[in-house]
Structure 1
């Protein structure tokens, strides 16, 4: 089930029983609260501890008999994307209402793969504007998308560019296989959409299941949401 939440909060946000009346309270209000290091956590039966982006352990905050937890840490643990718009002071949890091209976020390419806006590759059944070309697939090629946990879903389109053999294109979150495409000259456009809530990196690998001597090229494009 897709998750869609948009919450307008102050620039420092905690998850808990906070109620804010429109225009009834200042943006920042000084309070006296306690860091509660005595709480133990369990998610789906497994022990868990909230940490910040650097891996430093975080404590819950207890205030007026309510416990508050850091949104980003909890969101990542539950597989819910978390992002923050500083200009509008809006915290966004889950799937966004707009889409972001995969090339708008950081991409690590290796060997002969490259990010492109060249219409030689981007114009397929329509002009996709940008994407990644996995070039010269002989034994193995790879690249990595880095969404940094800001998006809930990814929508991909994959096209054969130069094909004399079948290429296996796999998408991984760590060691977990999320999707596999089998691409050849007759496969045409292939699409997929799947949940990436809380995922910071997506690794793409392209291999030839059957060793051949002709190089293959594949065009990958898509968007985050």
Structure 2
């Protein structure tokens, strides 16, 4: 099927060539009317892959003048590459999984999870005996290893991002709320079930992914499901609004 004028200004769909092995691709936007052939499918390692944007909406793949165009972030992240954008140079920067792994510091240099908790508690002025930790996970974000620490004390929620190498606090947030994590269940109110949340996450993830965690949580005054999935050595983290089922956050990481 062909569509005329199907994409105007196709800078948002970048050229994908041989799974993109380059480390930097510059995107140049142009405003024009073009005739394209749509309905093009993608498979990764034999499994059907449906590219989606940050909001979980399907993004079309199409042919134009014999060249296939596809959303570079969705495809490259599914292939295990790290994708970032440099607004200063208008450049999409790609890093292959092996290069990303080689650039990461030795994990033996990281502070421990216990130390990350101590740093967060000290900054919050909360004693360990008065805190209920929801998570203290080692993660990789924006090219940096960091601990994501979240805990409750009384009716206050604390969120910290702590540099795993230096122990520096990268970000912190606290929110006062009338919420008891122990009183919320997947069957209460209009909250969707855990199975529904898993289904939403699996529908977004590449074929063959497996859910390894699905936890009801509270973040920024909103009840959410935190869902973690794995597919080979790829790890996916998904936050889903527990009422609407909307995907609020989607992150992928190569586990080396």
TM-score category of the 2 structures, normalised to the smaller one:
0.3 to 0.5
TM-score, structure 1 as length reference? 0.39
More helix by share: 2
TM-score, with structure 2 as normaliser: 0.35
Q: Which has the higher contact order (CA 8 A, sep 6+)?
A: 1
Normalized per residue, which structure has more strand?
1
